[in-house]
Structures are given as C-alpha cells and as structure tokens.
Structure 1
Amino acid sequence: MNEKTQKLLSVLKLQPVVPVLIIEDAKSAVPLARALVEGGLKAIEITLRTPAALDAIRAVSQEVEGAVTGAGTILNALHYEDAVEAGAQFIVSPGATGELLDVADDHEAAFLPGAATSSEIMGLLEEGYEVMKFFPAEQAGGAAYLKSLSSPFAGTLFCPTGGISLKNAHDYLSLPNVVCVGGSWVAPKDLVASGDWAGITKLAREAFELRG
C-alpha cells in the first residue's frame, strides 16, 4: 500500500487544486483539458456522472500531453474497471466500500477513497489508506471540522472536495492535513459551453498559484 500511497501523493502534489469535471460532451474534453494543463493543473478528475465521461477520459488520456487523467464518482467495481480501461491513472470515490477496496487492490491505478466521519477514516486506516478524499467538505463541517481531525488522525492527509471555491480554498490549503483541494470552479459551464479556453486557462493559473 505504501507504494500506491506514494503514487497517489505524486499526483495530488502536482498542484493545489484538482479540477473536478462534469463533461456533457466528450468533444469538449480535449480542449478543456489542454486549457487546464496550460494553466498548470495537470491532474484532472473527470467524474462518471454523464454518458460522455468514459469517452472523455479516453480522449484526454490519449491526446493531452502532460495531463494526468483521473476518474471520479466511482461507486462500484464496474465503474472502477471501466475507468481504468478508459485510461484513468487515478480513481476517486465519494466514499468507500469493501467492493471498491477489493477492486483497488487488483489495479495499479492510485485510489483516493472518500471519508467524512471519524469511523470512516478509522476504517480506511485499517485498510492501509493514509490519503483520503474529504467529501462533501463544506456540508460535512468545512475547514474547521477538518482542522479538528488533524490531531487524532496525525499523519492522515485529505483532499477536501465539495463546496470549495476560490474564496474558501485557502482555508483548507492552509491546514497541515490537506494535500490539495478538489474544485469545479476552474471550469465553469458557461466558459466550457462557449469554448472560452483562454478564460479557463486564466482560472486554472489563479488556482495553481493558490499554494504560493
């Protein structure tokens, strides 16, 4: 598990913000990913919330130089298998089940499981996971809640996602137990629909500079 943890951290430490994308049209995936990479956001999570998601993952993984393609909203083993087959290099889930943990053991792709309570965190620690997604971040208690977990779960790192924006991202990134945050604000629906890739690159660059 330590090798997989290091692989996951090498992805999450590429940037302070991982874009969380809901792609309605697979044709927009490649120019969108290129715009994000140009702005410094190389690790990109494409969620399996639309019929176009797997085609988008496949296109980005094959055609976008520099992109590290991930798949999100993975809810079961079939999702996991399909995402890996499409080219996902890391897998993100809003929670964790025995089925997901088992299938993760069978693949090289790094797995970021979700947790929102102390019991869920303890369960993942028992399985050897030291890096987790904290979801839904704002609704589950926000940065203050996550900060309170840093003492009892020293050494555990989180990627909070859910309700995070440019306005509150720093609240999370300043915490010692946060490795990065996930956010959708870097790819607004209106900019994607209009093909304003320069605008998205600008947002990506602002997000990339948050840690500094």
Structure 2
Amino acid sequence: MARYFDVHPTDPQPRAISQVVAMLRDDAVIAYPTDSMYALGTRLGNHDGADRIRRIRHLDDRHHFTLVCSDFAQLGQLVHLDNSAFRAIKSATPGPYTFILLATPEVPRRLAHAKKRSVGVRIPDDPVALAILRELGEPLLSSSLLMPGHDWPMTEGWQIKEELDDVLDAVVDAGDRGSEPTTVVDWTSGAPEVVREGAGDASRF
C-alpha cells in the first residue's frame, strides 16, 4: 500500500518532503507532481525502481527515462551543452520542457540512448517537485504518469492512490496538475528540433 502525502501545492510542508525523500533514498518508487502533469520517479541508481516503472507503464527496454533536475548546474553535469544550447535552455528553465542532449559520463550507460548516447533532461517549474529534488540532492529518474490504454493521464493525487496503490510506495498529492506533457526538444544534431509540442511554448525554439 502506498503512503499518501497531501502537501500544499505552493508551500509544501518540510516534514512531508523529508519523509518522501527518505523513502526515495530507500529505493522507493513514487508518484509526484510536476508543472505539466504527475510523474513516476525513483532514485537515479535504483535499477529495480526503473524496472518497476517500466512494468507499471508497460514500457519496453527502449523507453527513455527523463532525468529531472533541481537546477541548471545539476542539468549541466549530465549533458553536453554548446553555447547556443546553453543560452536557449537556460532561458527556458525551469519550465515544462524536456531537452534531449548528448549525455556526459555522469549518466549511467543503461539510461542513455544505445546509439546516440543521448538522454532527456528537464527542470520543472513546480514548488513540490523542486522541494523534493533539492532535499534529495540528485536528479530523479522519471517518466510521465500516462497509463497504458488511457487516453488521458490522472490529474489528481487521490486518483493515482486509488489506481496504483499496490504498485507504488508513495503518492505525493498537490492537487490538479493538468494533463499536458512537456514540450520535447531534441538538440542532439546541434540545432533544436521540436519533436513533441506540449505544455511549453514551442515557438521559442
């Protein structure tokens, strides 16, 4: 049964955040809010957690997780950024964007694209997600919470608790977080290519 944390959407209670982070450090898989929709997350080094997320969402080994970061300095340790990418991405973060870039050696090989050595990264503009990330002190291995066979994601934490109670360790409920995924921008060729239009304004790229 998943632990349920009902947190304030803009000023999350420090005690609740500390308890969530303690569970993540103990290799929990959680559902948590972001600035685009709810997501599943686990610690970067948690191999079993990644497999559990794949099973929950019925994903295969080719699925690419997103590394969700607390700030630009953390993001910059995970991916290679030339000057143009640096300026454009810095101006768009935090926000509802996922950027696909070439991974640095900091990223475990199993998490990067097998041929391109690329990885998706993002910095959410969400007080609850950022509070979790800052206390954890490392990126979250994450995947949008869109269940197989569903046309729309669950937008409320209580829904997630009801549906996934037996497969999650914790649900962090911060109210309705919408149903639109991030805008995805692929920068692996050296220039931005919008591969999915979502919550973020794609016209800036």
- After TM superposition, the score normalised by the length of structure 1 is 0.29
The structure whose residues are more often helix, as a share, is 1
Pick 1 or 2: higher relative contact order, CA cutoff 8 A, min separation 6.
2
- After TM superposition, the score normalised by the length of structure 2 is 0.29
